[in-house]
Structure 1
Amino acid sequence: MTLLVAKDISVHAGSDRLVDPVSLTLEMGKAVTVLGESGSGKSLLAQAILGTLPKGLDGSGTLTVGGDTFDPARPQGNRVLWGRRIAVLPQEPWLALDPLMRGQQQVAEVHDLVAAASEPAVRAKADLTALGLEAAGDKFPWQLSGGMAQRLAFAAARAGGAAITVADEPTKGLDADRRDDVLALLRKGLEGGGLLTITHDLTLAKGLGGEILVMQGGTVVERGPAARILTAPQHPYTRALIAADPANWPRRVPPSVQPVLVRATDVTVSRAGRTLFRPVGFSLSRGQTLGIFGPSGCGKSSLGNAILGLLPYEGTLWRDPGAPKLGFQKLWQDPPAAFPARITLGQGLDDLIALHRIDRKRVAPLLDRLKLSPSLLTRLPSGVSGGELQRIALLRALLLDPVFLFADEPTSRLDPVTQAETVRLMTEIAAERDMAIVFVSHDRALLHSVSDQMLELSAQ
């Protein structure tokens, strides 16, 4: 049974075509997965199908769902599909969740208003339990870790009972166990529906099977069965994508001995009377990288925020008093939360430059080095990909000449190739500037490749 047919879907910004025509068919019980680098057009393709393209972008082509035809050039008409016929798992869960509504209530509302199900609260509680989110039912989204917020958004999106699911990076920011849980749920959903997934996660793509489309620069450069694409890729970019797995990266060369910048002794962080992790200690010198690993919700971000002076802590934490206050910077796990939503990225940089009297000539070389087009600065944060936004966040931090950078899942939105390039760039800049990095990730192989020392947090 055919659930969805997308024919010649393309995306334009005025006279510029951002996504070349793409056609795909989604059958009952089948998966279609779109892989590609940040900014390649993957999410724009999904947004054109859904009718959610950012302002200033237009879609074209034809969309057929269950015998009904829709026009991507008139996105308002696609809204009748939302929730009931197409469920959407968003790339940015904190932007999709209501910040003033508790977790269980958000899921129950979908069961009630979209699916018209009986006992919505009971169903919502069961959904959260199945995802290991029992503790999230009484919490607001801003009280959850990135991984927990992602799973809450997943539960809310699926509660409407739609046969088609469009999943935009559904495993982003999740540790291996939770990623496997989401994979199992997506595969179970295939028993009565179809799945269109936008992802950087090669393990997820392999687990879903079905058909894979590989996009580069707005064009599908290769497509075919998942088993063939992932084992015998034909296009050079696809081969590079697969080869960029962190497990294949060379090990980091230890830096020369430098003065100590941060020292922690028996440090732990508590929230709402609960200690998040057992006391830890470490010494981090300029130019060194400390990798922090652990399951979602164990306090990795909280430890980094304590180092930055953003959270209270227990134990002893020393920072070099000679280091400048603005020398301690952070790359956020969810960069949209760190950018004003209603001003362009360029205006935000202009404000930073004016406030701290930074030489504007420094921006262009950093844009080039980070492989960012200057035209991106004319857009709002919602008008660029997650990977592009994270690299702009890195640019913003580097303008302040940091001696310490807390990188909280900084590559969670990047495809493997761009991830490898970005991490290489970060480590090169750290070496050039004798900048210390605390790098948080769920990817143990990545941390082993980039870190001088590892710290694995365990729940108290």
Structure 2
Amino acid sequence: MNASSQHRTGTTAMALEIEALSVFSRSQTLVQDISLQIAAGSALTLLGESGSGKSLLAQAVMGNLSPGLQCSGALQIGAHRSQAAAQSSRHALWGREIGLLPQEPWLALDPTMRVGQQIAETYQLVGQPAADSQNETLRATRVRARELTARALRSLGLQAASHKYPHMISGGMAQRIAFLATHAAGAPLMIIDEPTKGLDHERRAEVLQLLRTALVDRIGLLTITHDVWLARALGGQVAVMLDGRIVEQGPAEQILSRPQHAYTRRLLAADPANWTQRIVPTLEADEDRAQDDDAVIVRMQDVAKGFGAQPLLSDINLAIRRGEFVSITGPSGSGKTTLGNIVLGLAQPDRGRVQRRTGLARFAMQKIYQDPTAAFAPGITLRCALQDLLKLHRLGRQELQTMLERLRLRPGLLDRLPSQVSGGELQRFALARVLMLKPALIFADEPTSRLDPITQQETLQLLKEHAQANECAVLLVTHDRRIAGHLADRELALHLN
């Protein structure tokens, strides 16, 4: 870290100091009186429920709050001190002094550029000293940027993604690519919002190693996560937020082992690691060759799918029955989302047969997207989107109100755009919209990846109860086999080809 980007309190170089920061609108205070410190080379992890203000705090530090929101307090980022209200004064720090990996990886990636090019450009223009005007020096800088990019992609097993566009890679891959692009800038302070959501254990371990490498490089990390495992593994400090306030703060080992606040205790108790596990029958992809069965909604026979010369799925045989909860597990890139899309008819197999029950209504099969922003038009409010649903399907307003109450979604959120609520809140709105249709089959693609443990447990229980009450089949994609073991009737395990 450059000496110019540090300041010292005593003998400790500080990457970030937040003093009495609050975020508010005309009608309410959303984040209240937050004070935090992060030393260079240290980690501070924010835990708390969806909508508690964690991402708003990050946006305030960046100086990037949505229109209509203001903040107060003071900030010190390296050597730069500013009043929190002067948001534009921090824009010049973006990239070189402070980096942000947003909760939605698609927001960090340019859809028109290949992912390798995006990482290399960051290395070249931000992460290295700017080249002078001599062509040879500029050429050397580009070569060095490409070398660093190739090394970074290899470190996460993402070499094959280098020449792809963002829409061609999975959500888990996009998350890791966005992390690499953010890390390439080399900023002495990084704010990372949910870096492990939707990743299997192996990929989570890779992200953890990258974060630890950043700490060794004296980068200060402010990590926002629902992943208790990550908070424990990172160490450093932990702060727990509830309703816009910090209710408990201290060393990670102390907070996560001996929590004092009742909410922290509930949060840790709801972690999937503490859920009751059942023995769930596990199928290999070619084992489910069911005979004719009136309860079958979708049957896949010898289905195969690939992309170009790369095989993805092969010899898939699966029967999904009415009221059944089937989980699909497997590492990132094993084809879980593609399999679900084939079930719904959103993708076609290269060979094999997919039979769907005849007589199903047009909206009888529904998808809950891993990325909830993909499910909503960005320019209309959530109220408008849900009112359109009620009108089109002749549903009652009371039914919507009951569903939102069950999902703990405040009525005031309805007047916001999808981009103005947290990822966890938007994920629950997407679930509410699907459940109200009472479909015959729901393909739920990591439906709680953006939720804290308490809300995740409540939401999955609602999904399970809905499926049982309405004889709705659920095809659940999850990287967490503990969730599969708690909820599923059967588990289909996919493997990398």
State the TM-score, normalizing by the size of structure 2: 0.89
**Equivalent residue for 1:189, pick from 198, 214, 220:** 214
Match of 1:315 in 2: 352
Counterpart mapping for 1:120-159 below 5 A? 120-159=145-184
User: How far apart are residue 252 of structure 1 and its match?
Assistant: 6.8
SS of alignment partner, residue 269 of structure 1:
strand
Whether contact under 8 Å (2:306, 2:312) holds in the other structure is yes
Whether contact under 8 Å (2:18, 2:35) holds in the other structure is yes
User: How far apart are residue 376 of structure 1 and its match?
Assistant: 0.7
Cα distance in 2 for residues equivalent to 1:114 and 1:259 = 58
Cα distance in 1 for residues equivalent to 2:449 and 2:412 = 24
Does 2:244 align with 1:208? no
SS of alignment partner, residue 247 of structure 2:
strand
Whether contact under 8 Å (1:258, 1:287) holds in the other structure is no
Cα distance in 2 for residues equivalent to 1:188 and 1:262 = 46
Does 2:294 align with 1:269? no
Deviations 1:8-27 (A, max 9, x none): 11110214111111101110
Match of 1:442 in 2: 479
**Equivalent residue for 1:377, pick from 414, 420, 423:** 414
SS of alignment partner, residue 154 of structure 1:
helix
- Total equivalences in the alignment: 458
Match of 1:418 in 2: 455
Does 2:117 align with 1:92? no
Match of 2:266 in 1: 240
Cα distance in 2 for residues equivalent to 1:95 and 1:160 = 17
Does 2:302 align with 1:290? no
Whether contact under 8 Å (1:205, 1:226) holds in the other structure is yes
Cα distance in 2 for residues equivalent to 1:421 and 1:258 = 32
User: How far apart are residue 349 of structure 1 and its match?
Assistant: 1.5
Whether contact under 8 Å (2:279, 2:485) holds in the other structure is no
Counterpart mapping for 1:217-256 below 5 A? 217-251=243-277
Match of 1:300 in 2: 336
SS of alignment partner, residue 292 of structure 1:
strand
User: How far apart are residue 71 of structure 1 and its match?
Assistant: 2.3
SS of alignment partner, residue 326 of structure 1:
coil
Cα distance in 2 for residues equivalent to 1:348 and 1:87 = 33
User: How far apart are residue 356 of structure 1 and its match?
Assistant: 3.3
Cα distance in 2 for residues equivalent to 1:83 and 1:214 = 27
Whether contact under 8 Å (1:54, 1:382) holds in the other structure is no
Match of 1:180 in 2: 205
More divergent stretch after superposition (207-216 vs 262-271): 262-271
Whether contact under 8 Å (2:175, 2:195) holds in the other structure is yes
SS of alignment partner, residue 278 of structure 1:
strand
Cα distance in 1 for residues equivalent to 2:17 and 2:153 = 32
Match of 1:359 in 2: 396
Give me the CA root mean square deviation: 1.6
User: How far apart are residue 289 of structure 1 and its match?
Assistant: 0.6
Whether contact under 8 Å (2:427, 2:447) holds in the other structure is yes
User: How far apart are residue 253 of structure 1 and its match?
Assistant: 11
Cα distance in 2 for residues equivalent to 1:108 and 1:78 = 25
Cα distance in 2 for residues equivalent to 1:289 and 1:269 = 24
SS of alignment partner, residue 114 of structure 1:
helix
Counterpart mapping for 1:5-154 below 5 A? 5-117=17-129, 118=141, 119-154=144-179
Match of 2:439 in 1: 402
Cα distance in 1 for residues equivalent to 2:219 and 2:107 = 26
Deviations 1:272-331 (A, max 9, x none): 242202322222211111100011111100000000000011222221112212010000
More divergent stretch after superposition (8-17 vs 405-414): 8-17
Cα distance in 2 for residues equivalent to 1:278 and 1:246 = 31
Match of 2:289 in 1: none
Distance of aligned partners of 1:258 and 1:14 in 2 relative to their CA distance in 1, 3 Å threshold: farther
User: How far apart are residue 251 of structure 1 and its match?
Assistant: 4.8
Deviations 1:318-345 (A, max 9, x none): 2111221201000000001221111111
Match of 1:339 in 2: 376
Report the residue type matching 1:329 in the other structure: Q
Deviations 1:132-187 (A, max 9, x none): 11011100000000010001100111111111111100111111101001101101
Deviations 1:30-69 (A, max 9, x none): 1101000111111111111111212221111100122321
Cα distance in 2 for residues equivalent to 1:95 and 1:75 = 20
User: How far apart are residue 373 of structure 1 and its match?
Assistant: 1.0
Cα distance in 2 for residues equivalent to 1:400 and 1:363 = 11
Cα distance in 2 for residues equivalent to 1:333 and 1:54 = 24
Cα distance in 1 for residues equivalent to 2:269 and 2:348 = 42
Cα distance in 1 for residues equivalent to 2:442 and 2:64 = 34
User: How far apart are residue 401 of structure 1 and its match?
Assistant: 2.0
Report the residue type matching 2:173 in the other structure: M
Cα distance in 1 for residues equivalent to 2:257 and 2:339 = 39
Report the residue type matching 2:174 in the other structure: A
Q: Using the aligned pairs only, state the percent identity.
A: 49
Larger CA Rg, structure 1 vs 2: 2
For structure 1, the 5+ residue unaligned runs are none
Deviations 1:390-445 (A, max 9, x none): 01001111232211100000111011111001000110111111111000011011
SS of alignment partner, residue 484 of structure 2:
helix
User: How far apart are residue 234 of structure 1 and its match?
Assistant: 0.9
Report the residue type matching 1:364 in the other structure: Q
Cα distance in 2 for residues equivalent to 1:208 and 1:393 = 32
**Equivalent residue for 1:164, pick from 175, 189, 192:** 189
SS of alignment partner, residue 83 of structure 1:
coil
For structure 2, the 5+ residue unaligned runs are 1-12, 130-140, 281-292
SS of alignment partner, residue 57 of structure 2:
helix
User: How far apart are residue 360 of structure 1 and its match?
Assistant: 3.4
